[in-house]
Amino acid sequence: MAKIVSINISDRKGVRKKAVASAALKENFGIESDAHASGEWHRQVSLLALESIRKMQAMGLTVGPGDFAENITTEGIDLLALPVGTKLTIGTTIEVEVSQIGKVCHTRCAIYHQAGDCVMPKEGIFVKVLKGGTIKTGDEIKIVGAGLPRSY
């Protein structure tokens, strides 16, 4: 079962995020009280797999959920295999759509300097909130609609 292992927010961009037990996702906005929530923008919420974080831990880095500024740390779902347009449900009512895979990191942000590397630009994904609600740690994540095939 794919699930949320951590929900992370911060009041500034480019810094490690702090874990919270639950958070409100607002339709077409993002996570309330998070610096990345921005409304009419395709990168409303970021996701990173715990499996990606474990790769960094295996390299000797002392990092964990939220340290790469991801909003939602997942487990049990191959985020990189999800094409843009894939629809997911979180919990029983929340719906999101994959809007971007990875990102360009133009400058070395605080996360890179603190952790020594950053997996978010390579392995993180972004979603738009289609239907809001409250998420909590442990909520199940399900794929409910396929997106466009990835082109290489």
Closest CA to 74 of 139, 145, 143, 147: 139
The CATH number fitting domain 3-145, selected from 3.40.50.10860, 3.30.1330.10, 2.40.33.20, 3.40.50.2000: 2.40.33.20
Residues 93-144: tens digit of each pLDDT: 999 999 998 766 656 655 566 556 666 767 899 999 999 999 999 999 999 9
112 compared with 149, residue with greater pLDDT: 112
CA gap 23, 78 in Å, rounded: 23
Q: Which residues pair with 96 in a beta bridge?
A: 88, 129
What is the pLDDT at residue 104? 62
Positions of E strands within the chain: 3-9, 18-20, 22-26, 30-31, 45-49, 72-75, 87-90, 94-101, 125-131, 133-136, 141-145
Q: How far apart are CA 25 and CA 30, in angstroms?
A: 5
